[in-house]
């Protein structure tokens, strides 16, 4: 059955069937068709299929390897609870509809009673939000407060009357008392389960279980009450609640299977769940007041009133303490400004909020200039005094609804909302700079500080708080570079400048690496050449392909030092391979040249120096240029390319076919190789046009006596088609992906040491 229901569709159909059954039963109850007996039959019969479905769905969760281990264990226990219910419903059906016996307590009652402890344990075992020990203690206290409130209610409604009920045996008395006590356990477990996971974030299964148990408890209490005051018969109104509760159990088990993992929780305590213990206390007092209304005012009235007022005052006191706690958690201890937690929270709230014209939100990042020397020279106390003075200055400038905070060290931030224009931000920044310039008196010293400010005006509603802070940081650095003591607005231009600076730093810091993609003779698969392809081993973003940075490098000119670095690194490694494996002498090395590099007057000199320094032979080097370089050949560039050729270096046109290479140019340029662009190779099997381009390039190569290399070969069919056309060489994932240095080295060794 489990395998059968494992398919989502069967489960969904079962849930739907239960829903239909529930609707039919409830309609029948209100319609009363066929008299009381038929209604009771319909009701009693509705339980069994529902119980079968929830037990099977729960077992499916309990056995599912997809669930987290803790969730699975909790659901194993919950399944046992569900099976107790199933047994109870089956035996109730037999007892009331087949045997027509009315004994109390019956087997069904015993099974119902067993449900509570298992459900209690299962609910407590559900994985909760991570909490510290103190949080857990608080949680237990809150649950106990709710439990005590529940106890008072149950005592008033059931336990008290049960103890005093005349004419029932001691066994019946204790059994009738056990049922509400079981319910009390469930109340405890439910209140713990929902307080551990704050609403509305409590996951759907927990919410469904909670709702189901709430209905069950109300029905149970009513059942016991009816049992106590005359005797319960099947098909009465508590059945409506029980059945609805059963359906919620079906939904809970189904939802749990779909939900693999509880979503990550945010810590937050400003929601209704926090009020649960208070609500329980108030309810208990209301009951007490109601029940004691006939007692004499002296002494009970005044004492009960006093106790209620005392409790309310203690609650109010606790609310204050809570608020203090919260304030402490979001305040910077030294300056009293908001701390990073609150700032991050506020920025998070911003994300997704619409940007309204005429109401600008502005984020400023403020950094004190020359703070470190003060700290180093006059000590931390002087540093603290400066930070406190800076905080006071900020508080004096900003308005009530704005937020000033300290991110750490001497870095502050200000969040302004509802500014009428972009320029107002500049006015506020100027005022801040002036206020921060005020000298700070520390003992006998007068300390002078200044600040730089980066200003971001929020214009894109979808930017995350983190990105806004990063942009403010970019603007701040621009302000610092421009001479400190000033502010700068963030703009995209600044961003590309910052990224360019980052890129140049990366080249200098050796964050770049070269990978090598082999090119092979298509007919034999023999290794002929390797192409050097640059990657950026970014400290935060991991290994980045050229797509992530080469355009920017090209735009800003950073590609010139980058390209020179790649050439040097590639020639150095290839020289080592030649030294290691004598057969590698024939291996050709390709390096990409960007148009910016080709435009450099000292290109030839740079290449010569690299070749001389690394000892790599010029006739084994191929430089790949793009079609745009040869589009309108400038005589200076043609001269430079010719000079490279004169050194013996091969020249290839990369991505051939994608630009507008005119044949006439091709003929007059000193090019030796054409690399058919990947886009044509990709379409070679099923796109006639792509196929024709490939054929044309192969012919062109033959006519001009150039080598033709096909790029981006991904399948055997593509390779075969190229061989058919007479294309001799190729490169692509079908043969090799670009390889990191160690793998490229071992490949070269493996291929050539035997040859040599
Ligand atoms: P490219 O020079 O045409 O290099 C070939 C690109 O195609 C490489 O991407 C390679 O990984 C990819 N490739 C090779 N075979 C296949 C295949 O079978 N299927 C697919 N889907 N892709 C394949 P990569 O490394 O991302 O480089 C992209 C481009 O960045 C290069 O195109 C080149 O124009 C540029 N580039 C890379 N390194 C440098 C460099 O050091 N300097 C300059 N200026 N540009 C470089
Ligand atoms: Mg290339
Ligand atoms: Mg290419």
Helix (H, G, I), strand (E, B) or coil at 479: helix
**Which pLDDT belongs to residue 551?**
87
**Which pLDDT belongs to residue 131?**
59
419 pocket-lining for ligand 1 (C-beta < 6 Å): no
Top pLDDT among 299 and 565 is at 565
625 pocket-lining for ligand 1 (C-beta < 6 Å): no
**Which pLDDT belongs to residue 199?**
39
Going by alpha carbons, the residue nearest to atom 41 of ligand 1 is 534
The average pLDDT across 142-146 equals 83
Ligand nearest to the CA of 533: 1
Distance 531 CA to ligand 2 centre (A): 7
User: Considering only 7-11, 236-240, 428-432, 503-507, which range has the smallest mean pLDDT?
Assistant: 7-11
Q: What is the pLDDT of residues 158-205, one digit of tens each?
A: 888 888 888 788 888 888 889 889 988 998 888 887 777 543 456 788
Ligand nearest to the CA of 676: 3
Q: What is the pLDDT of residues 475-492, one digit of tens each?
A: 998 898 888 899 999 988
Going by alpha carbons, the residue nearest to atom 43 of ligand 1 is 592
* Cα 724 from Cα 481, distance rounded (Å): 60
517 pocket-lining for ligand 1 (C-beta < 6 Å): yes
Q: Is the pLDDT of residue 387 over 60?
A: yes
Q: Which atom of ligand 1 is nearest to the CA of 545?
A: 26
* Cα 51 from Cα 85, distance rounded (Å): 7
**Which pLDDT belongs to residue 307?**
82
The average pLDDT across 529-549 equals 92
Going by alpha carbons, the residue nearest to atom 15 of ligand 1 is 732
| CATH number, domain 340-490 | 3.30.70.270
| H-assigned helices in 615-736 | 627-631, 635-646, 663-668, 678-682, 688-704, 716-725
Distance 609 CA to ligand 2 centre (A): 22
**Which pLDDT belongs to residue 667?**
78
Distance 732 CA to ligand 2 centre (A): 12
Q: Which atom of ligand 1 is nearest to the CA of 677?
A: 3
**In the block, which residue shows the tokens 């109104």?**
237
The average pLDDT across 515-542 equals 94
Q: Is the pLDDT of residue 276 over 90?
A: no
627 pocket-lining for ligand 1 (C-beta < 6 Å): no
Ligand nearest to the CA of 535: 1
Distance 645 CA to ligand 2 centre (A): 18
Pocket test for ligand 1, best of 512, 550, 653, 714 (most atoms within 8 A of CB): 550
Q: Which atom of ligand 1 is nearest to the CA of 733?
A: 18
545 pocket-lining for ligand 1 (C-beta < 6 Å): yes
Distance 136 CA to ligand 3 centre (A): 60
**Which pLDDT belongs to residue 7?**
59
**Which pLDDT belongs to residue 264?**
42
Distance 633 CA to ligand 1 centre (A): 24
Beta bridge partners of 675: 709
592 pocket-lining for ligand 1 (C-beta < 6 Å): yes
594 pocket-lining for ligand 1 (C-beta < 6 Å): yes
Which pairing describes strands 512-521 and 729-731: parallel, antiparallel, or unpaired? antiparallel
Helix (H, G, I), strand (E, B) or coil at 458: coil
**Which pLDDT belongs to residue 272?**
62
Going by alpha carbons, the residue nearest to atom 11 of ligand 1 is 738
- Which range, 97-101, 105-109, 271-275, 597-601, has the best average confidence (pLDDT)? 597-601
Phi, psi of 462, deg, nearest 5 = -95, 0
CB 15 within 8 A of CB 69: no
Q: What is the pLDDT of residues 648-676, one digit of tens each?
A: 999 999 988 877 666 777 777 899 999 99
**Which pLDDT belongs to residue 148?**
85
* Cα 747 from Cα 735, distance rounded (Å): 12
Which pairing describes strands 673-676 and 621-626: parallel, antiparallel, or unpaired? unpaired
533 pocket-lining for ligand 1 (C-beta < 6 Å): yes
- Give me the percent of the chain exceeding a pLDDT of 70: 94
| H-assigned helices in 94-203 | 107-125, 133-154, 160-164, 170-196
**Which pLDDT belongs to residue 119?**
93
Q: What is the pLDDT of residues 703-733, one digit of tens each?
A: 999 999 999 999 999 999 999 999 999 999 9
Average pLDDT, the chain: 87
Comparing CA positions, the residue from 354, 431, 439 lying closest to residue 399 is: 431
Q: Which atom of ligand 1 is nearest to the CA of 515?
A: 25
Determine if the peptide bond prior to 43 is cis (ω within 30°). no
CB 673 within 8 A of CB 694: no
Task: Work out the number of other CB atoms within 10 angstroms of the CB of residue 689.
Answer: 9
534 pocket-lining for ligand 1 (C-beta < 6 Å): yes
654 pocket-lining for ligand 1 (C-beta < 6 Å): yes
Ligand nearest to the CA of 562: 1
Q: Which atom of ligand 1 is nearest to the CA of 534?
A: 38
**Which pLDDT belongs to residue 358?**
83
- Here the tokens at position 578 are 């030649």
Q: Is the pLDDT of residue 267 over 50?
A: no
Distance 702 CA to ligand 3 centre (A): 20
- Give me the percent of the chain exceeding a pLDDT of 90: 48
Ligand nearest to the CA of 520: 1
Distance 164 CA to ligand 2 centre (A): 93
Q: Which atom of ligand 1 is nearest to the CA of 597?
A: 44
Ligand nearest to the CA of 516: 1
**Which pLDDT belongs to residue 5?**
53
160 pocket-lining for ligand 1 (C-beta < 6 Å): no
**Which pLDDT belongs to residue 127?**
78
338 pocket-lining for ligand 1 (C-beta < 6 Å): no
339 pocket-lining for ligand 1 (C-beta < 6 Å): no
| CATH number, domain 8-291 | 1.20.1070
* Cα 203 from Cα 262, distance rounded (Å): 6
Pocket test for ligand 1, best of 568, 592, 722, 734 (most atoms within 8 A of CB): 592
Describe the strand order of the beta sheet including 450-457 as a list of residue ranges.
Answer: 403-408, 411-419, 360-369, 450-457, 487-489
Distance 505 CA to ligand 2 centre (A): 24
Cα dihedral 15, 109, 180, 56 in deg (nearest 10):
-20
502 pocket-lining for ligand 1 (C-beta < 6 Å): no
Distance 533 CA to ligand 1 centre (A): 6
The average pLDDT across 494-502 equals 82
Q: Which atom of ligand 1 is nearest to the CA of 655?
A: 3
CB 117 within 8 A of CB 182: yes
Q: Is the pLDDT of residue 415 over 50?
A: yes
Helix (H, G, I), strand (E, B) or coil at 361: strand
**Which pLDDT belongs to residue 266?**
43
Class of domain 509-755: alpha beta
520 pocket-lining for ligand 1 (C-beta < 6 Å): no
Question: In this structure, is the dihedral angle defined by the CA atoms of residues 556, 560, 563 and 565, taken in order, positive or negative?
Answer: negative
Domain boundary assignment for the chain = 8-291, 340-490, 509-755
């Amino acid at each position: 059955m489990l395998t059968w229901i494992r398919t989502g569709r069967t489960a969904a159909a079962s849930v739907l069937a239960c829903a239909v059954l529930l609707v039919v039963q409830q309609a029948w109850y209100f319609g009363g068709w066929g008299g009381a007996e038929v209604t009771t039959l319909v009701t009693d019969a509705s339980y069994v299929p529902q119980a079968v479905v929830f037990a099977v769905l729960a077992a499916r969760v309990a056995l599912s390897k997809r669930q987290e281990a803790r969730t699975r264990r909790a659901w194993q226990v919950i399944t046992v609870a569900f099976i107790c219910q199933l047994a109870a419903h089956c035996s109730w059906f037999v007892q009331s509809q087949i045997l027509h016996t009315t004994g109390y307590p019956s087997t069904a009652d015993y099974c119902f009673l067993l449900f509570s402890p298992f459900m209690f344990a299962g609910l407590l075992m559900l994985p909760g939000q991570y909490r510290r020990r103190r949080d857990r203690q608080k949680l237990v206290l809150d649950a106990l407060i709710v439990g005590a409130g529940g106890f008072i209610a149950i005592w008033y409604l059931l336990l008290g009357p049960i103890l005093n009920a005349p004419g029932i045996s001691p066994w019946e008395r204790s059994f009738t008392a056990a049922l509400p006590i079981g319910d009390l356990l469930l109340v405890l477990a439910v209140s713990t389960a929902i307080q551990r996971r704050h609403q509305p974030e409590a996951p759907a299964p927990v919410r469904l279980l909670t709702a189901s148990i709430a209905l069950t408890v109300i029905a149970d209490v009513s059942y016991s009450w009816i049992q106590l005051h005359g005797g319960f018969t099947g098909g009465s109104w508590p059945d409506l609640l029980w059945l609805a509760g059963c359906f919620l159990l079906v939904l809970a088990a189904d939802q749990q299977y779909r939900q693999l993992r509880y979503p990550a929780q945010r810590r937050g305590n400003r929601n209704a769940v926090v009020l649960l213990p208070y609500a329980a206390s108030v309810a208990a007092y209301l009951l007490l007041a109601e029940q004691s209304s006939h007692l004499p005012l002296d002494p009970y009235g005044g004492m009960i009133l006093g106790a209620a007022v005392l409790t309310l005052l203690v609650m109010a006191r606790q609310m204050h303490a809570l608020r203090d706690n919260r304030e402490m958690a979001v305040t910077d201890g030294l300056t009293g400004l908001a701390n990073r937690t609150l700032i991050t929270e506020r920025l998070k709230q911003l994300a997704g909020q619409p940007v309204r014209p005429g109401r600008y939100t502005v984020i400023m990042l403020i950094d004190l200039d020359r703070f470190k020397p003060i700290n180093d020279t006059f000590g931390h106390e002087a540093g603290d005094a400066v930070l406190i003075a800076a905080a006071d200055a900020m508080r004096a400038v900003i308005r009530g609804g704005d937020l000033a905070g300290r991110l750490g060290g001497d870095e502050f931030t200000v969040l302004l909302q509802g500014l009428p224009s972009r320029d107002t931000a500049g006015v506020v920044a100027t005022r801040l700079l002036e206020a921060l310039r005020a000298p700070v008196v520390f003992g006998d010293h007068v300390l002078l500080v200044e600040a730089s400010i980066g200003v971001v005006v929020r214009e894109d509603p979808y930017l995350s708080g983190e990105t806004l802070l990063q942009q403010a940081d970019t603007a701040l650095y621009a302000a610092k570079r421009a001479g400190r003591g000033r502010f700068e607005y963030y703009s995209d231009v600044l961003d590309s400048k910052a990224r360019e600076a980052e890129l140049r730093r990366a080249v200098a810091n050796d964050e770049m690496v070269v990978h090598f993609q082999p090119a092979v003779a298509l007919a034999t698969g023999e290794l002929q050449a390797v192409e050097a392809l640059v990657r950026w081993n970014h400290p935060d973003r991991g290994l980045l392909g050229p797509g992530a940075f080469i355009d920017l490098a090209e735009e800003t000119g950073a590609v010139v030092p980058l390209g020179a670095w790649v050439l040097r690194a590639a020639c150095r490694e290839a020289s080592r391979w030649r030294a290691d494996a004598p057969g590698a002498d024939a291996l050709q090395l390709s390096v990409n040249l960007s148009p910016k590099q080709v435009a450099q007057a000292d290109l030839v000199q740079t290449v010569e120096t690299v070749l001389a320094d690394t000892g790599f032979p010029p006739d084994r080097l191929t430089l790949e240029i793009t079609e745009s370089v040869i589009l309108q050949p400038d005589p200076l560039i043609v001269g430079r390319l010719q000079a490279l050729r004169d050194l013996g270096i091969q020249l290839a046109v990369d991505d051939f076919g994608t630009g507008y290479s005119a044949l006439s140019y091709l003929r007059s340029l000193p090019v030796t190789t054409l690399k058919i662009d990947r886009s044509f190779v990709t379409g070679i099997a099923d796109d006639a046009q792509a196929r024709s381009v490939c054929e044309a390039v192969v012919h062109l190569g033959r006519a001009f006596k150039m080598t033709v290399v096909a790029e981006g070969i991904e399948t055997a069919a593509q390779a075969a088609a190229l061989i058919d056309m007479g294309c001799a060489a190729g490169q692509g994932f079908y043969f090799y992906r670009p390889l990191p240095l160690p793998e490229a080295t071992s490949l070269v060794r493996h291929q050539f040491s035997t040859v040599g």
